[in-house]
A and B are shown apart, each in its own frame.
Chain A
Amino acid sequence: DVKVTQSSRYLVKRTGEKVFLECVQDMDHENMFWYRQDPGLGLRLIYFSYDVKMKEKGDIPEGYSVSREKKERFSLILESASTNQTSMYLCASSGGGLAGGMDTQYFGPGTRLTVL
């Protein structure tokens, strides 16, 4: 079974702190994704990566950065946390794209981040 793990289930940080959210997958997947999920807004893509050291902006990258130094690990960084970044953060991974489309994404359990 594919396993995607996230470093914390719950996290409380203060405004202005630098926050690291870690995600690790064990299936040698090329693609990794970071989403945030908010009530009424669904899942929104923050950043994604197709390969080591590669990153692409998603729909809402402002205030975030990412790092992918190893294939299995994709980190989301909040350079200076703000209260509007309080949210559920979900990491996902997938294998190479299907011929004609994206493959299934496998999600981690999520990190509920509260910024005070």
Chain B
Amino acid sequence: SQQGEEDPQALSIQEGENATMNCSYKTSINNLQWYRQNSGRGLVHLILIRSNEREKHSGRLRVTLDTSKKSSSLLITASRAADTASYFCATDPYNQGGKLIFGQGTELSVKP
């Protein structure tokens, strides 16, 4: 089964609103990464948070990690139409031979 599971599967908001996506996972991890994918394209790395970190910021992105609950969230503030994309979390589990495990993604639609 997938290590990372995003919630919600789809999210539709208006420009200027904040978007929050959640990721849950099952086993202990070294780090957790968030990626973005525009339709029909490859994935682009957004942010990496290590297991000993609780929060990280990058521009309008804020990621939190709660290892006790095995969950992470990605917040995009003041969203823009250009943020429309799919967002994936990927976990790097302990003792998995260095593989990233991707969730199925959240499809974000930001309406102008």
A residues with CB within 8 A of B: 4, 31, 35, 40-43, 45, 48, 50, 56, 58, 88, 90, 92, 97-98, 100-102, 104-110, 112
Contacts and interface: CB of A to CB of B under 8 A. Distances in A.
Interface of B: 2, 29-31, 33, 35, 40-45, 48, 50-51, 88, 90, 92, 97-100, 102-105
Contacts of A107: 35, 42-44
B81 to A, nearest CB: 22
Nearest to A6: B42
B97 A56 contact: yes
Given A35-B102, A98-B50, A102-B31, 6 more contacts: A90-B42, A100-B31, A100-B51, A104-B33, A105-B90, A105-B100
B41 A102 contact: no
B42 A100 contact: no
A94 to B, nearest CB: 9
A56 B90 CA distance: 19
